[in-house]
Amino acid sequence: MEKYKEFETWRNAALTKYLSDRGWKTTGDHKMLVARAFSAWENNIPVQPSAAELAETAKKEYEQLVEGIEDPLQFGPEAWTTETEGIEGWPNVMYSDIYDYIMKEHPGKDQTLNNRMLNAYKEGKAYTFYTNGWLQEVQSCKRGGLVYLRAKCTPSCKINEFPHKAWVCCHQTGTIKEAYCSCTAGLGQSCSHIAAVLFKVEAAVRTYLVNPACTSTAARWNVAPGKRVQKRKCKDLCLKNDKFGKTGVYL
């Protein structure tokens, strides 16, 4: 109880600081503060990092993230191409690229979100990540052999808040190098905003909006090896309803 007696000699201001440094409540009279401080001491409650320290850590983590690439948050507005003008030059992001990226080990990896994203994709619902209205235009910028994509996302339930800023850095081939979002989960590099950007690009690739000159080449797509395709009238066609059809949405 020696420590308890020591706390009893402390003034309220000192006790309040001791408690708030450890994220504990600071209400109550002197007796209450002493008891709480003693409990915190006895349980070895560590000092919580201050807001400034947290900001400093986030800054350092961000600097690590953009090491070896250019920082897209520093690009001027003129560097970015609009979605309509830039879509044909978007990177060739495919499902396997997204899978590789979200399964990659990184700090703050959210396995639950990863599973949710992958399941949504498998069930043909990945579009919900970007069709719910809060993913704004995806803009692109090509620099140093890499493609940067950025988009603003408004939190769906908080439309009055500032939108989150998400960016993704890819090789033109589709391999995802880095990604970031200003939401709290962002430095973990997997949040639903980043997923929304990635799935939107993937859908654009899959529907031949990206690099159309290449993908629409007849020689690549219209040849069915070993089988000639016969012309048929529409009424003679047998149309199957696959699992994507259940949703009524075709990507």
Binding site for Zn ion (CB under 5 A): 164, 181, 183, 186, 191, 193
In angstroms, the CA 20 to CA 31 distance is 16
Task: Identify which of residues 170 and 181 has a Cβ nearer to Zn ion in the complex.
Answer: 181
Least distance from Zn ion to the Cβ atom of residue 134, Å: 11
Least distance from Zn ion to the Cβ atom of residue 93, Å: 18
Instruction: Report which secondary-structure segment, H or E, holds 140.
Output: strand 139-143
Query: Are the beta carbons of 201 and 188 closer than 8 angstroms?
Result: no
Other CB atoms within a 10 A radius of the CB of residue 146 amount to: 18
Task: Identify which of residues 166 and 170 has a Cβ nearer to Zn ion in the complex.
Answer: 166
Task: Identify which of residues 87 and 198 has a Cβ nearer to Zn ion in the complex.
Answer: 198
Least distance from Zn ion to the Cβ atom of residue 153, Å: 7
In angstroms, the CA 193 to CA 172 distance is 21
Least distance from Zn ion to the Cβ atom of residue 130, Å: 13
Task: Identify which of residues 72 and 186 has a Cβ nearer to Zn ion in the complex.
Answer: 186
- What tokens appear for 209 in the block? 């909006």
Instruction: Report which secondary-structure segment, H or E, holds 168.
Output: strand 164-171
Task: Identify which of residues 64 and 184 has a Cβ nearer to Zn ion in the complex.
Answer: 184
Least distance from Zn ion to the Cβ atom of residue 29, Å: 43
Task: Identify which of residues 131 and 211 has a Cβ nearer to Zn ion in the complex.
Answer: 131
Other CB atoms within a 10 A radius of the CB of residue 95 amount to: 17
- What tokens appear for 139 in the block? 């803009």
Return the axis-axis angle of helices 192-206 and 95-103, rounded to nearest 10°: 160
User: What residue type is assigned to position 39 of the chain?
Assistant: S
Least distance from Zn ion to the Cβ atom of residue 141, Å: 20
